[in-house]
Structure 1
Amino acid sequence: MDRYSFLRQLADSWVLLALTLVFIGVVLFVWRPGSRRLHRDAAESIFRNETRPAPEPTEAETGANRKEVE
């Protein structure tokens, strides 16, 4: 059996099975109980500062210790 035939047979059987199981696992992960709140939070995250602008980040948050130039 040459290499191409072996890899073709492997892809047609075991790799297809593995990818199917990965797909089913991803679907089950997304539709698991309790994930609705996390999905809603992620979907609405762009609207969090809609009524007022976000506060300026502090130096600790930005990681920069710059001196202000006057």
Structure 2
Amino acid sequence: MLSTEKYIGVVRLLNAGEHQEYYISENNHPAIISKEQFEAVQIEKKNRSNVVKGKSGNRRRSSSKYSSKKGR
């Protein structure tokens, strides 16, 4: 849910002919959450991710998955 920039008032607009190019429109609409909260969530998602990007492509860090129940 918190992967979408629309929650902070940012919209990506695709170029009419080229789908590889886009324009960013900031403050397009009122933000639901602050930019700081959004960025903190993105950092936490990256830290919890079990996927690592390497030279040979994406791979899993280990066979275990993140679980909030482990700390209990």
> What TM-score bracket applies, with the shorter chain setting the length?
under 0.3
More helix by share: 1
Name which structure has the greater RCO, CA cutoff 8 Å, separation 6+.
2
More strand by share: 2
How high is the TM-score relative to the length of structure 1? 0.26
